């Protein structure tokens, strides 16, 4: 479909229906304009070509904090903020990408996919994705893409994974006959981060962005994680999911992030296993003094968090399915307390006077105590960044105003769960 034809297609009933599903009725119109503007900008950079539209959401982690890397369980959802791309095959051996949001424009030669010495940045990430396709036996080829994103950067809603899954959808559609599944997307995204960024990430972010909707994932077998979609929307309970960005920390957090999976795995190592999913809470408690001596006390606490967090995910899923929303909220609160006290990822010990996360949680807990409604917890990797609150709609705006007075204007976001993950917009709209 040519660019002008695609612009007209966006005004069709089919496209409008999908826009409403992705962004809600109130925001559908502005996103049609957003897509049309992106196509017009694409035309200024690349020759007139047959184009397709792609969208990939950010994600929110409801529960299962730092469990995926030890093959645990999570409850997560795709959100109404997304990465959108216009793309076309260019029948060459180069990939041309323009990123509007981050003011980047670069070209990658498919004959040279080696990472840079620094192993950082968007170019290395894209090279890692392309290499990952080849490593997994899939095809790649040259294409042009013009991309924009409103997934908040450095805010725990996976802007990088959203971008990765968008490119996976493009490569799957153009060069692999759309035969790949979302598990393959996630593994390729993790490969890119592990090998081309030296980042010890799990599969949660990529899976949540790729699959879409509210999902629970069991990573016991990480090569084939068990994914179940949960038919639930917070709006059905007149509640909002709110993300508060407390600001990016000034410390280098790489060591903090890496220490969490490493310390959990150290506990598993005591029992001759690789990950905590292969041992039990009873194993650890039964030989507690020996495990403490071998792995250290914080490692033990983090392992105990892992076991209890897995139970909470199961309890929350059951509560949502059975309409016990108050019990679900109680488990969100318990998850937050465990992350703060046992997992200990609310601030970094290397900069203990900088505690934006814990300050925001304290303020939110005071608000919830006054209202006697709602729940909150740390969101995402932690140590700096973002918290999550689930609150009744009638007090959501008051909470946002309350938090922005202390955390800054524009740092609180009301999210909704969208039903689609990373997709080719044209294909889904035509179904």
pLDDT by position in tens, the chain (length 431)? 899 999 999 999 999 999 999 998 989 999 999 999 999 999 999 987 899 999 999 988 899 999 999 999 999 999 989 999 999 999 999 999 999 988 899 999 999 999 999 998 999 999 999 999 999 999 999 999 999 998 876 556 678 899 999 999 999 999 999 999 998 999 999 999 999 998 877 788 899 999 999 999 999 998 889 999 999 988 889 999 999 988 776 677 888 988 999 999 999 999 999 999 999 999 999 999 999 999 999 999 999 999 999 999 999 999 999 999 999 999 999 999 999 999 999 999 998 998 999 999 999 999 999 999 999 999 988 888 889 999 999 999 999 999 999 888 888 988 889 999 999 999 999 99
How many Å apart are CA 245 and CA 49, to the nearest integer?
40
Per CATH, domain 3-58+78-214+420-430 is 3.30.230.10: yes
How many Å apart are CA 329 and CA 377, to the nearest integer?
11
How many Å apart are CA 61 and CA 401, to the nearest integer?
23
Per CATH, domain 234-415 is 3.30.70.890: yes
Question: Where do the domains of the chain lie?
Answer: 3-58+78-214+420-430, 234-415
How many Å apart are CA 342 and CA 207, to the nearest integer?
26
CA-to-CA dists, residue 394 to 9, 118, 373, 415, angstroms = 38, 48, 11, 15
Q: Is 428 in contact with 420 (CB distance < 8 Å)? A: yes
The SS3 call for residue 322 is: coil
Nearest C-alpha neighbor of 226 from the set 234, 216, 218, 214: 218
Complete DSSP assignment for 215-252: EEEE-SSTTS-EEEE----GGGGTEEEEEEE----SS-
How many Å apart are CA 22 and CA 11, to the nearest integer?
15
Q: Where are the beta strands (DSSP E) in 291-349?
A: none
């Amino acid at each position: 479909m040519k660019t002008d034809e695609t612009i007209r297609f966006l005004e069709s009933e089919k496209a409008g229906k999908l826009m409403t599903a992705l962004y809600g009725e109130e925001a559908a119109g502005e996103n049609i304009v957003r897509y049309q503007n992106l196509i017009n900008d694409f035309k200024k950079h690349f020759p007139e070509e047959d184009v397709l539209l792609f969208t990939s959401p950010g994600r929110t982690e409801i529960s299962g904090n730092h469990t995926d890397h030890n093959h645990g369980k999570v409850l997560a959802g795709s959100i109404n903020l997304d990465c959108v791309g216009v793309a076309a095959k260019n029948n060459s051996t180069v990939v041309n990408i323009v990123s509007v949001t981050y003011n980047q424009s670069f070209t990658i030669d498919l004959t040279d996919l080696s990472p840079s010495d620094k192993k950082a940045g968007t170019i290395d990430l894209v090279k890692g994705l392309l290499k990952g396709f080849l490593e997994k036996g899939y095809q790649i080829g040259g294409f042009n893409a013009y991309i924009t994103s409103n997934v908040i950067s450095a805010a725990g809603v996976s802007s990088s994974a959203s971008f990765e899954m968008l490119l996976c959808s493009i490569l799957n559609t153009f060069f692999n006959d759309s035969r790949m599944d979302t598990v393959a997307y996630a593994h390729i995204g993790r490969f890119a981060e592990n090998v081309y960024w030296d980042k010890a990430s799990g599969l949660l972010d990529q899976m949540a962005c790729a699959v879409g909707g509210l999902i629970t994932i069991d990573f016991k077998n990480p090569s084939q994680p068990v994914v179940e979609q949960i038919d639930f929307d917070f709006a059905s309970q007149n509640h909002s999911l709110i993300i508060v960005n407390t600001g990016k920390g000034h410390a280098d957090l790489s060591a903090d992030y890496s220490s969490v999976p490493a310390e959990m795995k150290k506990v598993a190592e005591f029992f001759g296993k690789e990950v905590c999913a292969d041992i039990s809470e009873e194993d650890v408690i039964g030989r507690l003094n020996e495990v403490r001596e071998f792995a250290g006390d914080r490692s033990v606490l983090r392992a105990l968090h892992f076991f209890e967090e897995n139970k909470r995910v199961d309890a929350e899923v059951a509560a949502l399915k059975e309409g016990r929303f108050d019990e679900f909220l109680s488990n969100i609160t318990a998850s937050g307390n465990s992350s703060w006290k046992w997992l200990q990822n609310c601030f970094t010990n290397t900069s203990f006077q900088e505690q934006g996360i814990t300050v925001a949680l304290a303020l939110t807990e005071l608000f919830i105590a006054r209202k006697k409604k709602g729940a909150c917890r740390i969101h995402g990797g932690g140590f700096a960044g973002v918290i999550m609150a689930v609150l009744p709609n009638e007090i959501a705006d008051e909470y946002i105003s309350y938090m922005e007075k202390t955390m800054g204007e524009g740092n609180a976001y009301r999210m909704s769960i969208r039903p689609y993950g990373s997709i080719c917009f044209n294909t889904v709209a035509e179904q």
